[in-house]
Amino acid sequence: MTQATQDADIVGRGNREGKRLFNEWFAGLTDTAQAGDSAAYVFVMGSLVEILRAFDFPIVFPEINSLQTAVRHISDEYLSLAEDHGFSPDVCGYVKADYAVQLRGGDHPMGRIPKPGIGVLTNACNTYIKWGEIWERMYDIPIFTLDVPGSRGAPRNGDSYETAGEREIDRRYVEYQIRELISLCEVVSGKKFDIDRCREVLQYTNLMGRAWRKVLEINKSTPAVYDAMLDGTIYLGVANALRGTPEGAAYFAELAEEMETRQEQGLGALGEQDEQHRLIFVGVPCYPIFRRFYELFSEWGGSFVSSTYMWFASGGLNLDFEYDLSRPIESLAEGLLVGVRSAVDSMLFHDRALVEAIDEYGATGVVYHPVKSCRTVSTSLADSRRVVLEERDVLALFIESDMMDKRVVSEAQLKNRIDAFFEGLNSKKLRSAGAASSVDTGT
Amino acid sequence: MSGSMQVPEAFGIPEWDVPVRLLDLEPGTDLDGALTRCRELVEDTEFPTVRKWRDAGGQVLGHFQVYFPEELAHAAGMLPVKIRGAPVDRREADSHFGSYLCSILRSSLEIVLTGRIEIDMFVTHPICDAARNLAGMWARNRPEPAQILYFPQNANSAFARGYLREEYARVLRDIEEMTSTKVTQKDLTLSISVFNHNRRLLRELYRIKRETPWLLAIDEAYVLTSIGGLIMREEHNALLEWALPLIRNRPHKKQDKMRVVFEGGFCEQPPLDLLRSIAQFCYVVDDDLLIGLRWILSDVAAGPDPLESLADAYLNHSSYSPVQHDLRKPKEKMLLERIRGSEADAAIVAAAKMCEPGLDEQVAYSQALDEAEIPYFITEFEEKMARHDQLQLQLETFVENILFE
C-alpha cells in the first residue's frame, strides 16, 4: 500500500468508523432487548461505566437515543407521544423522547432499546434526577442518584472556590457513594464486584482520554482539522458509548493518528473550502436540522475549532487527569469529581474558560446556541457573552432554537442571523487587514 | 370583622433583643389591618424591611428558593431574606437571559440589578438547572459574594447527612468571614430555638387552615407566612403569637365551598390576586406555597452538634418538593398524603410557566390523581400575571362540575 493510499484510508476514518461502531453498539442493544434482558441506563455527565462494565451491564445512554431521533428527523413523533401523556412542550425534549421510546417498547430508529434494570445518574443535571424518577415510576427499578458536589462559586483569585480541605470532603463523599453503588450493583446483577475488571476499564478510559486530549489540542492548528460541532458530535458519541472499552481506546488512538495526518497534510475541516473564520461553539447543536445547521456556518468558511460540548459531554476526557490503577475506587471518585465539576463549570462558570479558549484556538467568533430543552447549558449564555465580549475583541452570535423540537427551529431566521454574523466577521477581517496594510506602508 | 384585640403598645418589641424593628405595625392595628400591612410589605417590590435593616447597619443574606438553613445567617446576626422574585417590569435582567426560562429567575436578578434590594451575600441551590446558574450570573454582575449550597440529592445515602453537615459548616465559615463574627454553638442553638418556635407557629397557622378554613383564606395565610421571609424571626414569632388567637376567634361562618390542596408554589409564587380568586370558590386546606419556610416538620433537636441536627432535620424530618429527590418521598404519594391528611376533595396542580421540575411533576401528579380518582385542576401561572379571568372561569367551571356531579 502506498503512502498516498494509506493516507486516503486514514482521512475520514474517524467518521466512518464512528458510524460503524455506533451501529454495532445499537445492534448489541437490540440483541439485548430481543433476548428480554435489561440494561443499565446512564447519562453522559458522570456515566460511571467504569463500575457498570465491571458487572457486564449493557449500557444505554438515553440522551444519545433521544438526539438520534432528532438527527433522523423523527423526534416530533416521539415528542408528540410524550406530550399526549401530559408532558409540557416546555420541558426537556430528551426526556420526552425517551419517555416515548419506553412507551413504544424500546422502538427506536437505530434498533430496539432494552428496558432499564437499573438507572445510575449524577446531579450534574437536575433533569437527570427528574428523568430517573420517571423510570422509577414506570418500572419500579433501583435508581442510584450519585451526588457530585459542583463548584460552589466562580473561581477566587484564579483558584477554585473551595479549599483543598473542602474538596477532599467532597471526594470522600463521592467515594462512599461509589461504594454504595457497587453494593447495589452486586444485588442487581447477582455478581461480585471484580476490581481487576474495573481496573481494566479504567485503563481503557485512560487511553481514550490521552487520545481525546490530543485530538482537542490538534485543532489549535490552522486550518482546524475537524469541525468541533459536526465531527465533534460523532467523536463524543463514541467517547460515551464505548468509554472504557478496547474498541473505544483503539478508535481514539486511530482518530488521533488521523488528525495528525490531516494536520501534516494541511487538510482542513472544510475540505476544499478555505477556513475563513475560526469559531467556538457554545451550547448544544441544533439536531433537527443538524447537517443544514452546520452548512449555515461552513458555507461562509466558518469552522468550529472548539466547542463547550466537547468539554462538558466528554465525561472528563478533556481534563489532564488519569485514573490511578493502584487505588481504583479512590481515584475513580477523584476523576468523577473533577470530571463532573469541570463539565458543570463549563456550563455555569464558563466565561473564563471561553476567554482562554479564544486565545488558545485563535478564535475570531463565538456562537452561542441556547436551546429550549436544556436550561443547564442555556440559562446564563447571554450573561457570559457580555463578559467575553468585554474581554476579547471577537464577534459573538446569539441564536436560539432547540436540540429536539423542530417547532422552535426556524431555519430562515437562523440563516438571517448567521449571514449577518458572517458579514460582520468579513467586514472586521477586512478592516483588520486594511489597518495592518496601513501600518506596513506607513500610512 | 376581625378579632377585637388590637396591636398592643408593646407589639414588635419581643423578649429577644432585635436590633431593629422591621414590621412597622401601629399600636391599635387590628387583625385585618395587620393582614393588610403584611400584604403591602409582601407585595412591595422595594423591599422596605430589608432596606430598613441595612439602613440600620445590618447585613443581609439573600437566599434563593426553596430552602436554606436560615439559622446559620441568623446566628451571625444577619437578616436572612428569601429571594423569591417579584412582579416587576424587567428592564435590566432580561438581556442577561435567553428565552424559555421562568420568571422568578429573571425578576430575582432584576430586583438586585436595579437596586430594589441590596444584600451582602447570595446563596442559590441546585434546585433546578436554571437556578444554579444564578451564582455565576451574580458573580459576573454583582460585587457581593455569591455561591451555591449543594444539597444532597442522594438523600438515601448513609453519608448524605455527614456531607450536608460539612456543607453547612462551609457556608457558615463564609458567613463568619462576611460578618467578621465567630458563631458559637450557643449562638446556633439559640437561633435554632427561635426557628423551632417559628415553625411551630406556622404549623399552627396551617392547622387552622386545615381544620377551620373559613377562618383563614389562602391569601391571608400566605401573607402571614410570607412576611417571615422578610423580617427577623423574633418579630414574625411575635406577630403570629398575637394573630393566631385572633384568627381562631373570628366570627366567620363556614360556607359550602370545596376543600382543595394547592400544589405548585414551592418556588415561583403565584400573584396574591390569583390566590384570592381561588379563595372565592374553594377552601385551600393545604398547599406547598413557600414550602421552604415550613420544610422542617418538627423541632430541630438541640443536640451537641447543631449543624448535624440541622442536616438531619433537612433530610429526615422534612416535607417534599419536586426539587428534592428522596426514595422515601415519591412526590405523587406525598401529594396524595397531603390531600388525604387535609381531607381535601380535590387538588389544584399548578406549575410556574417554564418551571421544568414543576411541569415534570404535573405528569406524575395527574397520573396518581387519576388512579386515586381524585379530581384535579391543572394550570400554569406566572408571578406577574395581571389578568386571571380566564383561569378564574376555568376554576369555577371545575368546581361546579364537581359540586353538581
Question: Higher pLDDT residue, B7 or B219?
Answer: B219
Search chain B and give the residue with CA nearest A178.
Answer: B157
Q: Is A284 left (phi over 0), alpha (psi -120 to 50) or beta?
A: beta
Determine the distance in angstroms separating the CA of B187 from the nearest CA of chain A, rounded to an integer: 24
For residue B127, list chain A residues with Cβ-Cβ distance below 8 A: 126
Selecting from B96, B325, B364 the residue whose C-beta is nearest the C-beta of A129 gives B325
Segments in chain A below pLDDT 50: none
Phi, psi of B35 (to 5 degrees): -65, -40
The DSSP bridge pattern shows strands B121-124 and B146-148 to be parallel
Q: Do B166 and A169 touch (CB under 8 A)?
A: yes
Rounded to the nearest 10 degrees, how much is the dihedral formed by the CA atoms of A208, A210, A216, A218?
Answer: -120
pLDDT digits (tens, 9 = 90+) for B295-314: 999 999 988 999 999 999 99
Written as one string, the DSSP assignment of A100-137 is HHHHTTTEETTEEPPPEEEEEEETTSHHHHHHHHHHHH
Rounded to the nearest 10 degrees, how much is the dihedral formed by the CA atoms of A290, A296, A302, A303?
Answer: 10
Determine the distance in angstroms separating the CA of A316 from the nearest CA of chain B, rounded to an integer: 20
Which residues have a Cβ under 8 Å from the Cβ of B208 and sit 6 or more positions away? B215, B216, B221, B244, B247, B248
Determine the Cα–Cα distance for residues A286 and A407; give it in Å rounded to an integer: 12
pLDDT at B13: 42
pLDDT at A359: 97
pLDDT at A435: 81
Selecting from A137, A387, A398 the residue whose C-beta is nearest the C-beta of B140 gives A387
For residue B325, list chain A residues with Cβ-Cβ distance below 8 A: 129, 132-133, 145
From the candidates A166, A308, A383, which should be mutated to test the interface with B, based on the most B CB atoms within 10 A?
A383
Search chain A and give the residue with CA nearest B331.
Answer: A133
pLDDT at B14: 45
Determine the Cα–Cα distance for residues B45 and A202; give it in Å rounded to an integer: 54
Q: What is the pTM of this model?
A: 0.95
pLDDT digits (tens, 9 = 90+) for B44-92: 999 999 999 999 999 999 999 999 999 999 999 999 999 999 999 999 9
* Cβ-contact A192, A183 below 8 angstroms: no
Selecting from B97, B100, B152 the residue whose C-beta is nearest the C-beta of A372 gives B100
The DSSP bridge pattern shows strands A107-108 and A111-112 to be antiparallel
The CA R_g of chain B, rounded to the nearest whole Å, is 20
Q: How confident is the model at residue B4 (pLDDT cuts 50, 70, 90)?
A: very low
Selecting from B139, B356, B357 the residue whose C-beta is nearest the C-beta of A153 gives B139
Selecting from A87, A370, A376 the residue whose C-beta is nearest the C-beta of B98 gives A370
Selecting from A152, A378, A380 the residue whose C-beta is nearest the C-beta of B137 gives A380
From the candidates A173, A347, A409, which should be mutated to test the interface with B, based on the most B CB atoms within 10 A?
A173
Instruction: Using the predicted structure, report yes or no on whether residue B26 has a pLDDT greater than 90.
Output: no
All 3 cell numbers of residue A293?
445547521
What is the distance, to the nearest Å, from the Cα of residue A98 to the centroid of all Cα atoms in its chain? Answer: 18
For residue A150, list chain B residues with Cβ-Cβ distance below 8 A: 126, 132, 148, 150
Q: Is A369 helix (H, G, I), strand (E, B) or coil?
A: strand
Q: Is A5 helix (H, G, I), strand (E, B) or coil?
A: helix
* Cβ-contact B242, B7 below 8 angstroms: yes
For residue B163, list chain A residues with Cβ-Cβ distance below 8 A: 147, 149, 169-170, 173
* Cβ-contact A121, A148 below 8 angstroms: no
Determine the Cα–Cα distance for residues A45 and A3; give it in Å rounded to an integer: 40
End-to-end CA distance of chain B: 34
Q: How confident is the model at residue B270 (pLDDT cuts 50, 70, 90)?
A: very high
| Strand order across the beta sheet in which B258-263 lies | B282-287, B258-263, B346-352, B376-381
Determine the distance in angstroms separating the CA of A41 from the nearest CA of chain B, rounded to an integer: 17
| Strand order across the beta sheet in which B121-124 lies | B79-83, B60-64, B121-124, B146-148
Q: Do A147 and B126 touch (CB under 8 A)?
A: no
pLDDT at B12: 47
- Computed from CA positions of residues B127, B129, B135, B137, in that sequence, does the dihedral angle turn out positive or negative? negative
For residue A347, list chain B residues with Cβ-Cβ distance below 8 A: 133
Q: Do B154 and A147 touch (CB under 8 A)?
A: yes
- Computed from CA positions of residues A38, A44, A47, A53, in that sequence, does the dihedral angle turn out positive or negative? positive
Which residues have a Cβ under 8 Å from the Cβ of A22 and sit 6 or more positions away? A110, A234, A237, A238, A241
pLDDT at B1: 34
pLDDT at A48: 96
Search chain A and give the residue with CA nearest B122.
Answer: A153
Phi, psi of A231 (to 5 degrees): -65, -35
Side-chain half-sphere of A419: how many Cα atoms within 13 Å?
6
Q: Do B153 and A145 touch (CB under 8 A)?
A: yes
pLDDT digits (tens, 9 = 90+) for B177-210: 999 999 999 999 999 999 999 999 999 999 999 9
Long-range pairs, A265-272, Cβ under 8 A, ≥24 = A265/A7, A265/A11, A266/A223, A267/A11, A267/A225, A268/A223, A268/A224, A268/A225, A268/A303, A269/A223, A269/A224, A269/A225, A269/A226, A269/A227, A269/A231, A269/A303, A269/A304, A270/A223, A270/A227, A270/A298, A270/A301, A270/A303
Phi, psi of A303 (to 5 degrees): -125, 130
Amino acid of residue A18? G
pLDDT at A1: 59
Question: Higher pLDDT residue, A416 or B20?
Answer: A416
Instruction: Using the predicted structure, report yes or no on whether residue B9 has a pLDDT greater than 70.
Output: no
